[in-house]
Amino acid sequence: MSACTEGILAGYRVVDLKIDFYDGKMHPVDSNDISFQIAGKEAFKEAFANARPGLLEPIYNLEIKIPEDALGKVIGDLSSRRGKILGMDTDSSFQVVKAQVPAMELYHYATTVRSLTGGRGIHTEEFSHYEEMPRELEQKVIAESKSRKQAEH
């Protein structure tokens, strides 16, 4: 539990995991509680590394209401943010774009929408689910986490 809380890859909590312990021996001279904890934590780290773990990122549902003349700019911006367009609809003179975008790509998104639409666009965000992070981004997050840990010590 301690290793899961601390995280292995980048310091983030480990989730969706099942562990079965099936063997262990105690010796009255060499065995104590802390020895079992250390051995269990190291065994977990080794097994975890061999299981090809991955980082998950939160994905948000977006609904963006924009004027028709800004449609191309907004869709292009969503694509640059790793967004998936789920569909489009019309609401009087506005276009409504529905998309899913990773949370890390939504920093200051309200400002971007206003900028792309001349202040006439609005959006809503709602958490949808978690998805595996692309490997190249995952490696970047892990490297940043390691450099932070080294800077702390």
Query: What interhelical angle do 109-116 and 71-80 show, nearest 10?
Result: 150
Give 1-21 pLDDT, tens digit per residue: 777 777 777 777 777 777 777
Q: Which of 14-18, 35-39, 112-116, 149-153 shows the highest mean pLDDT? A: 112-116
Task: Give residue limits of the domains in the chain.
Answer: 2-50, 56-132
Mark 44-63 as b/e (b = at least 16 C-beta within 10 Å).
beeebeeeeeebebebbebe
Rounded average pLDDT over 131-153: 84
Which CATH number describes the domain made up of 56-132? 3.30.70.240
- Residue type for position 55: L
Give 77-132 pLDDT, tens digit per residue: 999 999 999 999 988 889 999 999 999 999 999 999 999 999 999 999 999 999 99
Long-range pairs, 79-82, Cβ under 8 A, ≥24: 81/105, 81/106, 82/134
